[in-house]
Amino acid sequence: MPYRLSLFLPFLLLTISSCSPAEESKLSEPDITSHDIETHISFLASDDMRGRETGTPEEAAAANYIADLFRSYGLDPAGDEGSYIQPFTVNMAMASNPHASPDDSAGEKRLAKNVAGLLQGTGNTNNVIVIGAHYDHLGMGAFGSLSNGNERIHNGADDNASGTAGLLELAQYFAENRPESNLLFLAFSGEEIGLLGSQHYVANPTVELDEVIAMINMDMIGRLNEDRLMIFGVGTADNWESILTSANADSLDLELVEDGTGSSDHTSFYYKDIPVLHYFTDTHADYHRPSDDTEWINFDGQEKVVEHVARVVQTLDTLSRNELAFTKAPGQQRQTMRMDGPTLGVLPDYGFEGEGFRINGVNEDGPAAGAGLQPGDVIIQIGDISIKDIYEYMGALNEFSKGDQTTVTVSRNDETLTLNLQF
């Protein structure tokens, strides 16, 4: 249903009558705190924001919230025409068809917004460290939802109000503790449709990309469990591992993954030969469902994650671009991890480095559950297609359509099982 301004006015009036985000930020602490993280996530993932779908009034309200805070922290506008906003056009046909072009005549056209703020460093260096997170989500779940039934608000507290809150905390922290390097803070929209905001940014950068020493991305960092933190991109620079382990003052259980690409915005920077990191506290049963709510966020845990990012940034501030040279990550890298084919209804184990595709969970109404798959199974073959890793799994699914029947072969407790599967 088209959005009507009359329906959105009550929300606007509420925000006007209350303290502005900039005013509220003056009451928050300059240090990284779980309290501030909770404040940001509670706003971004509230029902009033209706899931922050790309190109909606609620997405614009979230962009204004971020821009107002960037301004209050003293960041310079780094968007278009002297503003904090970098607009771009989105063809919503891409939400259901990854091969659609932004210029196709089919599909509703919307104006989406990246938000960009530059913190000038205190040194004489041109080095830029990019810190990014996407702030869009699935709206009412018309596309991308893993939930069955009628459309409902998908608040996206972990995905990715958590990363956006981390971005805002770091912007405030470094505004009070300025490094010598320049810091570019980027909040992307259009990520859920295929990394569109970050792809637009690297094609239309507001700083010279050859001045960027590294890009750090935060996506789903709000569910730290048993201090286990996954960091992707370690294979994109030779000294990432030593930097990350040295920054681990909180004794986090770091799971370092070499991949430079994946289904988040660091991928766009990797393909510009920039060293990247992607912080991630793993998927969960609420992923892309209405139940991804603020109540499940581990605020104290996220504070630890964001503090780790801050220490990494402080180390990068001491390095030249030559000291953090880009290297191609080993193995097969993909531009995105979007699929044309059906899904199995499983939760991936993104940290699994063995051969095959291990799953952490099974959706009770999905094809995997119907076939008898269980958490911990390692998928090694679908039909006649061998599965060596998550990329081959994604590619294999593109060969099938909903309703197709085939087999899935899994390794379970040192036993190989072949199960009947219907998509």
Burial (Cβ within 10 Å: 0-12, 13-18, ≥19) of residue 251: exposed
| 54-63, 353-362, 379-388, 407-416: least confident range | 353-362
The count of domains in the chain is 2
Whether residues 269 and 354 fall in one domain: no
pLDDT of res. 107: 76
Whether residues 316 and 376 fall in one domain: no
Q: 12-61: per-residue pLDDT in tens? A: 333 333 455 444 444 445 689 999 999 999 999 999 999 999 999 999 99
> Any idea what the CATH number is for the domain that residue 242 is in?
3.40.630.10
Query: Could you say which of 290, 324, 358 is where a domain stops?
Result: 324
Q: 118-138: per-residue pLDDT in tens? A: 999 999 999 999 999 999 999
Whether residues 233 and 366 fall in one domain: no
For 12, 15, 24, 319, the CA distances from 18, given in Å and listed in that order, are 10, 5, 10, 43
Q: 337-356: per-residue pLDDT in tens? A: 444 567 788 878 877 778 99
Query: Could you say which of 324, 358, 377 is where a domain stops?
Result: 324
Asked if residue 394 belongs to a domain, the reply is yes
> Any idea what the CATH number is for the domain that residue 403 is in?
2.30.42.10
DSSP conformation letters of 324-347:
G-B-PPSS---S----SS----EE
Q: How far apart are CA 346 and CA 360, in angstroms?
A: 7
For 100, 257, 346, 368, 369, the CA distances from 401, given in Å and listed in that order, are 18, 31, 17, 15, 18
The pairing of strands 182-188 and 128-134 is parallel
Asked if residue 398 belongs to a domain, the reply is yes
Contact at 8 Å (CB) between 66 and 115? yes
CA dihedral 327, 330, 332, 334 (to 10 degrees): -40
CA dihedral 204, 208, 211, 213 (to 10 degrees): -10
Whether residues 52 and 144 fall in one domain: yes
Whether residues 386 and 273 fall in one domain: no
Q: How many helices (H) and strands (E) does the chain have?
A: 11, 15
Asked if residue 59 belongs to a domain, the reply is yes
Asked if residue 350 belongs to a domain, the reply is yes
Q: 167-209: per-residue pLDDT in tens? A: 999 999 999 999 999 999 999 999 999 899 999 999 999 999 9
> Per-residue confidence at 94, pLDDT binned at 50, 70, 90?
low
Q: With a cut of 60, say whether residue 418 has pLDDT above it.
A: yes
Query: Could you say which of 293, 324, 355 is where a domain stops?
Result: 324
Q: What are phi and psi of 357, to 5 degrees?
A: -130, 105
Dihedral sign (CA 148, 154, 157, 159): positive
Asked if residue 6 belongs to a domain, the reply is no
- Strand pairing partners for 360? none
Whether residues 274 and 223 fall in one domain: yes
Whether residues 405 and 295 fall in one domain: no
Whether residues 154 and 234 fall in one domain: yes
Asked if residue 241 belongs to a domain, the reply is yes
Whether residues 308 and 356 fall in one domain: no
Whether residues 308 and 386 fall in one domain: no
Q: What pTM value is reported for the model?
A: 0.83
Q: How far apart are CA 397 and CA 69, in angstroms?
A: 42
Amino acid at 116: A
Whether residues 133 and 255 fall in one domain: yes
What is the arithmetic mean of pLDDT over 324-334? Answer: 81
The pairing of strands 212-218 and 276-280 is parallel
Asked if residue 234 belongs to a domain, the reply is yes
| 111-115, 156-160, 219-223, 287-291: least confident range | 287-291
Asked if residue 183 belongs to a domain, the reply is yes
Q: Which domain holds residue 214?
A: 19-324
> Per-residue confidence at 5, pLDDT binned at 50, 70, 90?
very low
Whether residues 187 and 55 fall in one domain: yes
